[in-house]
Structure formats: C-alpha cells, structure tokens
Chains A and B, each alone.
Chain A
Amino acid sequence: MAIQSNDRLLATTMRHPAILRADVTQPFFIDLVSLTDEARRAFETNPRVLQIVADGLSVERYRQLLLELYHVVWHFNPTCAAAASRLGDEHAEIRYFLYDHMMEEKGHEEWVVNDLEVVGVGRQGVRQHRPSNALLALNGYNYWAADRRNPCSVLGMVYALEVIASVYGGPIAAAIKESLLLDDERGISFISSHVTMDAEHMAELRVVMNKVSDSGAKEAIIESTIFNFEHFTRLLEAI
C-alpha cells in the first residue's frame, strides 16, 4: 500500500510541469518547494503580477484588490477550522498548528477594512462587494479540499498564501505605496505587516510540514499549493 501511495504522489507531481522527482527519504518541505516551484514562478512571472510589482496599482484597482483580499482573509480561519475538525488524532500536531495560526490571524480582516477606509471605501462598500469568480473558486476549492479531499490540503493553502505574502508582499506593497503616494504604512498596513509576520509563520509551517509522512496527505498538499498559486494569480488578473 505504501508503495502505491508513493506512486500516486509521484504521479501527481509528474502531471505538473516541474519534472522534478519526489524523494520520500528527505524532509517533505523540500519536496513541496521543488514540486510546486513551477507554480510559484508562474505566479511570479504572470504579466499582471509583473505589472503590479513594476508600476503599482491605480487607486481603483487597489480598492478592488483589498476588497478581494478581505474575503480571502475572512474565509481563511473557517477553512482552517473545517480542516482541523476533520484531521485524525494522528495529525494532532497539525491541528495544534492550525489552532495557533487561527488565533494569530483572527481579526486581520479588520486590517483590510482599515486600509480600505484610507483609500475611500467604507464598511458598507466592503459588505456590498461581490467576490470575483476566481475568488469564489479559490475559497470553494479550499473548503471542498478540507472537507472531501484531505484535511491536510489546508497546509497547501497556508503555504501558498504565506509565500505570496512573505516573498512578494514586500515588493508589491512598495510599488503600491509609490504609485499611490501613500505615507508610512497607512493604506498598506495589511500587506506590509504580513511580509514579516508570515516569514515567522513560514518557519513554523516548515516544521509542521516535515512531520507529514503519509503520502495521501502529501499529494493533497502539493495539489492544493499549485491550485492556490494558480487561482491567486487569476484573482490578481481579475482586478
């Protein structure tokens, strides 16, 4: 059975363009980084993402981005909770990681609301915003994957979002700040603060990822990471 599962893991990774081998003897985080590197670079090299990093955003598009991010943040904890409730006792450490993570992320949607107020969108505007189809697909997949695919898949969502925040958040925040002539961190507090905060989370996430040993969970995490990178890219394309 173990061999079949490992074969499945390899089959999943081989479906994706990064033709790199999974090595079941090394820590899982290395495999995750290697096997999802193509998806990360596809995000990084997307023309819309490049344009944002190079030129920033107009105020209208930045509002759209924040309104979308509000729903990413707002659904982050319920998705983690759904996954935590379905994780078996053998994954107790992942459950505890998710509890801690949810505590830390709790209330961060208010940071987005504060930034929105700086750029002229009140709470009414936030309530009235209808998420894009890309975002509905992203959140829908993450709930479904936690519920039906494998609860460990939530770690793929966490990984992709933290890579986006900690690796690309800095340049994106700097570009937006320049393009909108914003002072200090006002208006970009959510993106800026997650650059360093999520760097801490990344280190914790690596530790918990390396405790994942079952191949089905690994396969689900890789799939979820690739899906989240791809659909976060669609989200940015839609604004």
Chain B
Amino acid sequence: MSTGRVLPTAVDRPYKYLWLEWEPEFSVLTARICVKPIQCYSLAAMAELQQVFNDITANPGLVRHFVMASGVRDVFNFGGDLSLFVLLVRARDLDSLKLYARRCVDLVWWLENAAQIGVHTTALVQGDTLGGGLESALLHHNVIFERRAQAGYPEVLFNLFPGMGAWHLTVRKGGFAIANDMILSGQIYTAEQLHRAGLVDLVVEDGQGEAALEKVVRSAHPKLRGILAALQARRIAAPIAYESLQTVVEHWAVSALRLKDRDLRLMERLARAQVRKVGGAGEGAVEEIKKIELDTAWGFERTGLSEWSTLT
C-alpha cells in the first residue's frame, strides 16, 4: 500500500492543522492532526476536520477508508483546548461552551454514522491521548494503539468529566464497569490495559502502527460492503442517540461553568507541563497527571501539604 501525495481534487484544500494523505489502491484518506504546542481540538482544527468530513459526504464512494492519526510525535490528541476552556469559564460564557461542545458532537456524529455513507474508519494511536482525544479514537470502527501509547479520561481530576461521548462509547465497547472505573478515577491506562478492557482492537509494537493499519485495510477491503452493513447493524443493536449526546454536552457545559479557580489552575498546570515537554524541559501532561493522582491519593492524606493545597 503506497501513500500518494496527490489528493483527489474533491478533498484537496489548503489546511493549516491537518495533513491529508491519499492511498489510491484502497481509497484511504488519512488525516494527521497537527496542533502545536499542545495537540488538541482547537476551534480551527475542528472546523478543518468538519470540512474534510463534509467533502467526504459530498462525494460518495470516493473515500472508502478514513484514518485518523497524529502529526505530532508521541501524542495522538489531548482533547479539548484547555486554554479556551479557561477563557470561557472565566468569562462565565455558557453559550460559547455549548457552541464548542456542539461542534465536537457534530464531529462525533459524523464518525458515528460513517458506515452509513460507506466509509470504514480507523484510529491509529501512536502516542498518548487524553479526554476528548480518547473519545475521538474510540469513535472509529478500528482502534489501533502502539504499545507505548497511554490514555485516559483525566477530567475528574479538575472536577469535570469527559462530555463528548465518553460514557456512550466506553460503555458500548468496554461495558459499564470499565466506563465507570475510567471516567470516575481519572487514571491513565496502558495500551495493553485498554486492549484487555475491549476498548482497543489491536496493540502493536512501537513503530509498527502503519504496517498494522495496512493489514487492517487490506483485510477489510475485499469484504467492505459486508463489514459496513454489519457495522450499521451494530449501531442498531447498540445505538447512540444524537439527542443523548446533546443532552450530555449541555450538562458538561453547565458543569464546566462550576469549575473553581483551583480547577482552572490545575488545567493550566497540565497545559504548562505539556509546553515544557515540547520545549524539551519536562515530562509532559501524562506524567503530570500521574503526579496529581499520587498527590491526591497520598500527599494530602499523609501530610496535608500537597501541590493540590497550593492550588487553593
């Protein structure tokens, strides 16, 4: 499977945050998201992704396989734009939080319905992914993780919850107990743990993600019509309703507005940790979350002095 650089005209647009690749043999469109310094779903990146989805929908049969991947080394996606959340929460702007959430749900809904428009989807996760990033990965028909990739829903650590489909998707793939554990603990999981929980379909060695993707596409392509029909039937058997997604994001927006200054400062701390990692001077957001977990579990109980207490 060779990746061509020439995109079909129908999807060829100048994007700032997406790198599109086209593989003509199996009609595979790969979108690599690249938002720096923190790989996240910024408003502009989401607008570009929505444009790609609109182009695919407007040209039935052109794209048979859609692949979501990352253009940033060691990170798949960290989900929501934390600095935008801080801005909107401090402005007490419920309307804009809902607007952001609705744009997320529109993307969720397109991926949820991809089989119906004849598109088979795969997430290729070659680095850490958190919150909305994990939600977006789980939406795909196939989820491939490289072994080093870690993931989780850390939102509860700053008194929020993942609102863009986490409950729906995690319950559907892993079951209620797994969803409960992941969302309420805020813990970070290894690729292997996520595979055992049924959330990840395939774990491959580091650097083997592209080869695994090719195998998945090659294997699915000859029986694509059957797979897509089965996936549509899966949606009927385990449906996710648009209204339900909307209701949850409305609740998410209201909950976000209740965040306290301490919670916002914790978000800033995570963002800063990631910035330091990009600058080569730190361990990044995932390690920072682990420190916060330990801090919460031990530091405060044992000494009453933790980084949490300094945030108040």
Name A's B-contacting residues (CB within 8 A): 17-20, 26-27, 29-30, 33-34, 37-38, 40-41, 44-45, 50-51, 53-55, 163, 166-168, 170-171, 174-175, 196, 198-199, 202-203, 205-206
Contact = CB atoms under 8 A, between A and B. Distances in A.
Contact of B96 (A20, A33, A41, A205): A33
Contacts, number: 92
Contact of A167 (B16, B90, B95, B275): B90
B92 A203 contact: yes
B42 A37 contact: yes
A203 B271 CA distance: 23
Contacts of B47: 18-20
Given A17-B16, A20-B47, A26-B95, A54 B281 contact: yes
Nearest to B265: A170
A170 to B, nearest CB: 5
6 contacts: A17-B44, A26-B99, A29-B95, A33-B88, A196-B261, A206-B91
B83 to A, nearest CB: 5
A167 B82 CA distance: 10
B8 interface: no
A171 B16 contact: no
Main secondary structure of the interface of B (DSSP, over half): helix
Contact of A206 (B86, B92, B268, B282): B92
B36 A167 contact: no
B272 interface: yes
Contacts of A40: 83-84, 87
A38 B44 contact: yes
Contact of B279 (A37, A50, A167, A168): A50
A35 B268 CA distance: 23
Nearest to A41: B42
Contact of A202 (B43, B87, B276): B87
B87 A54 contact: no
Interface residues of B, number: 31
A232 to B, nearest CB: 15
B87 A163 contact: yes
Contacts of B91: 29, 202-203, 205-206
Contact of B87 (A51, A167, A171, A175): A167
Given A51-B279, A55-B279, A196-B261, A29 B93 contact: yes
Interface in B109-150: none
A53 B37 CA distance: 12
A174 B271 CA distance: 13
B94 to A, nearest CB: 10
Contacts of B220: none
B52 to A, nearest CB: 13
A162 B269 CA distance: 19
Given A18-B44, A171-B271, A45 B88 contact: no
A174 B272 contact: yes
B278 interface: yes
Contacts of A174: 272
B205 to A, nearest CB: 32
B92 A41 contact: no
Given A18-B44, A54-B275, 20 more contacts: A17-B44, A20-B44, A26-B95, A33-B84, A33-B93, A34-B96, A34-B99, A37-B43, A37-B44, A38-B44, A44-B37, A45-B37, A50-B279, A54-B276, A54-B279, A166-B86, A175-B272, A202-B91, A203-B92, A206-B92
B95 A30 contact: yes
Interface string B45-67: 00100000000000000000000
Contacts of B265: 170
B54 to A, nearest CB: 12
Nearest to B83: A167
Nearest to A210: B95
Contacts of A202: 87, 90-92
A26 B102 CA distance: 14
Contacts of B261: 196, 199
Given A50-B279, A175-B272, A44 B83 contact: yes
A168 B268 CA distance: 8
B166 to A, nearest CB: 24
B34 to A, nearest CB: 12
A50 B38 CA distance: 11
A33 B275 contact: no
B272 A54 contact: yes
Contacts of B90: 166-167, 198-199, 202-203
